[in-house]
Homo-oligomer: A and B are copies of this chain.
């Protein structure tokens, strides 16, 4: 679970491997809600198998914010770190195997590693990279048309398009499933 971190911080190998045992492994069916919008998150997740989407409700229709797949970790960061109600709902799309880290164990880990400057610097890198990811997504949302975003998605993350039901893709692109269907139809005709 911490493979990439261990590769960068070999002196923490033993400790990080111990922390792996703090995770609880659960198997859940599709459409399981792991965290509901409005709840205060007490758990962080790591995906062994399956996929998850984070979404939010707006006037009854749900808007997908992000997808997650195998070997990725996620949480409702603001809620988890700051003990405030989550803006996002976290829900499995497929039957999944998830590793769950409870907040008290997270705090134990952070307390253990908080004195290690190499670890803290690595944390900064990770958070910085995540910030860049959101900025890029945001900019793409501002700048590109839905059709262009769909083409980007096809090119850059084809696994998402192949694996995720189309109406979730549409809500991720910020459009209705009807409109996505029109775009796909138009693209098909253009490519004969």
A residues lining the B interface (CB < 8 Å): 56, 58, 63, 65, 77-78, 81, 87, 114-115, 117, 120-121, 123-124, 127-128, 130-132, 134-135, 137-139, 141-144, 174
Contact = CB atoms under 8 A, between A and B. Distances in A.
Nearest to A116: B117
A192 B21 CA distance: 64
Contacts of A114: 117, 121
Secondary structure dominating the interface of A? helix
A58 B174 CA distance: 19
Q: In the assembly, how many copies of this chain are there? A: 2
A142 B63 CA distance: 8
A163 to B, nearest CB: 22
B81 A139 contact: no
B78 A132 contact: yes
Enumerate the 8 nearest inter-chain pairs by beta-carbon distance, A residue then B residue, closest first. Answer: A120-B120, A131-B131, A58-B143, A138-B138, A134-B134, A127-B127, A78-B132, A63-B142
Given A81-B128, A130-B131, 17 more contacts: A56-B139, A65-B139, A77-B131, A78-B132, A78-B135, A114-B121, A115-B117, A117-B117, A117-B120, A120-B121, A120-B123, A120-B124, A131-B134, A134-B134, A134-B138, A137-B138, A138-B141
